[in-house]
Amino acid sequence: MLLRVLAVGDVVGEGGQDILSRRLHEMKEDLDVHFTVVNGENASGVGVTPRQARGMLDAGADVITLGNHTWNRIQIGDFLDRNDCILRPANYAGRVPGRGMGIYPVKGLRVAVLNLMGRVDLNPNLDSPFKTAGYLLRNGGYDLAVVDFHAEATSEKGAMAWYLDGKVQAVWGTHTHVPTADCQILPQGTGFVTDLGMTGPIRSVLGIKPECSLNLFLGGLPRRYEEAEGNCKINACLFVLDSEKKRCVEARRVDLEE
């Protein structure tokens, strides 16, 4: 059986939430998608609230993954404990709410989703994502597995994909909000892309007003980042997984712009 998995890049602000709510169901239907994973850690700009998480699930996300802004909206804590369709990075050190891996029934299969966060230039106060992945995946109990690796360094993302080649069926990077053009299938059958990109305003710097970034880089006083306005996009990739051969047979970009 071929399972078609849609991975959607970081949802940024109200614009990202709006285009997701209006276009994701249509996108899934056009691509004959069976399972959808959406990174939602920037729905509030930084962080996500329970209301926003419910909105993304209503829009068509089967699972929401998070990242380094998980705790910027601390009210998400209880929601992470109550709802198994939202994941935070599994390698957070210490005792924090929620879970970093879930197993979901899809078309008679058990699909594992693992959310990890990188340490290079992002957050060194984490457990090793490599060791965490090895430990969690060793427990089994699933037919297919996919990984959202929320990381800054392209080298760390690539290394994770090669580390997991043959152990999972797909690895995609999130966090940098810039879509990469390197969709590929590694030798042992793992589909990989360095970064999905983002879901949010097109004319922006990573989803925010350009003048906010210019102010920072030109030495201005710190100011609150504001979400950019105007037409939005959905950056996403489609992974087609063969459940019998336990490998990815297709990995490609399926971006949408308005």
DSSP state letters, 157-184: HHHHHHHHBTTBSEEEEESS----S--E
Tell me what pLDDT residue 34 has. Answer: 98
Asked whether residue 205 is domain-assigned, the answer is: no
| pTM > 0.75 | yes
Asked whether residue 120 is domain-assigned, the answer is: yes
Burial of 222 (0-12, 13-18, 19+ CB in 10 A): exposed
Asked whether residue 248 is domain-assigned, the answer is: yes
Band of the pLDDT at 56, cuts 50, 70, 90?
Answer: very high
Asked whether residue 221 is domain-assigned, the answer is: no
Asked whether residue 224 is domain-assigned, the answer is: no
Tell me what pLDDT residue 144 has. Answer: 98
pLDDT higher at 136 or 210? 136
Asked whether residue 218 is domain-assigned, the answer is: no
Residue 94 has pLDDT above 80, yes or no: no
Tally of structural domains, the chain: 1
Range of the domain at 158: 2-200+231-257
pLDDT higher at 54 or 219? 54
Asked whether residue 16 is domain-assigned, the answer is: yes
Which residue numbers are catalytic?
Answer: 69
Tell me what pLDDT residue 225 has. Answer: 83
Distances (CA, A) of 5 to 83, 93, 208, 233, 254: 21, 29, 28, 19, 12
CATH code for the domain in which residue 156 is found: 3.60.21.10
Asked whether residue 222 is domain-assigned, the answer is: no
Q: Mean pLDDT over all residues of the chain?
A: 95
Tell me what pLDDT residue 118 has. Answer: 97
